[in-house]
Amino acid sequence: MKTVTAIVEQKKDKKRVNVYLDGEFCCGMDLFTLMSERIKVGTEIDEKRLEEVVAQSEYSSALDKALGYISKTMRTKVQLITYLKGKNYDGKTIAKVIDKLFEYGYVDDELYAKRFAAEKKLSKGKRAIAYELKTKGVDEKIIDKVMDEAESEDEGCMRVAVKYLKGRELDYETRGKCYRYLLSKGFSYDTAKETLDKIKKDDEDY
């Protein structure tokens, strides 16, 4: 059994304190855990309870960091795990945080993928969107489902093509360059070809 001999506020984080047992530094702890567990100078604590309290403190701290990370924009599960690993939280703590965020709907890779696809559909093709989602850690099954359910990429392809061709004559060379540009933006071969054919026909009709 050890005794808490000092509790000192951390200089860089006012929400955390350093806890000393028997005159020696033991661990850092968040204020919420400190108060909820009624830890104060003079408290006697055994090794088992100390481990439980430290684990709870780490969880509370990691959850707070995670909520701050997703407060401005939605994140994927892999992005959150990578972020928390970078903050030196252990795997067990990270898994517990992810489960809690998933339970409350703060982590939802399918919803993330749908929103991302909707946001990018007017500037990129499905192949490019799918690739970016993969780099963000979204599971391929989710990506395939979202891409299958996504609207046609025709509108986005036309928008990108018109912007590229602005002020240019659609001759053979320019058509080839525009075609390759559309492919680089992730649009399919067929969509790129059909878009350029339509632009050419509209120009001829005009």
104-129 tens-digit pLDDT: 999 999 999 999 999 999 999 999 99
Residues 93 and 44 in one domain: yes
Query: Are 46 and 7 found together in one domain?
Result: yes
Residues 126 and 169 both lie in one domain? no
pLDDT of the residue at 151: 84
Give the number of other CB atoms < 10 A from CB of residue 90.
Answer: 13
Are residue 93 and residue 120 in the same domain, yes or no? no
Task: State the pLDDT at residue 205.
Answer: 59
- Nearest partner of 7 among 53, 62, 76, 60, judged by Cα: 53
Give the residue-averaged pLDDT of 94-99.
96
Cα-based distances in Å from 134 to 45, 138, 153:
47, 5, 19
Residues 141, 177 within the same domain: no
Looking at every residue in the chain, the average pLDDT score rounds to 91
What domain count does the chain have? 3
Side chain identity, residue 13: D
Q: How far apart are CA 182 and CA 159, in angstroms?
A: 10
Least confident span in 35-49, 62-76, 78-92, 122-136: 35-49
| pTM of the predicted model as reported, rounded to 2 decimal places | 0.78
Q: 87, 63 in Cβ contact below 8 A?
A: no
Residue 46 has pLDDT above 90, yes or no: no
pLDDT at 12: 85
The answer to whether 77 and 69 are in contact (CB under 8 A) is no
Task: Give the Cα separation of 25 and 33 in Å (integer).
Answer: 17
Instruction: At 89, list the tokens.
Output: 């939280």
92 with 125, same domain?
A: no
- The residue segments making up the domain with residue 38 are 2-103
pLDDT value, residue 204: 64
Q: Are residues 42 and 81 in the same domain?
A: yes
HSE-CB at 10 with a 13 A cutoff on CA atoms is 14
- pLDDT tens for 118-161 read 999 999 999 999 999 999 999 999 999 999 998 889 999 999 99
Per cent of the chain over pLDDT 70 is 98
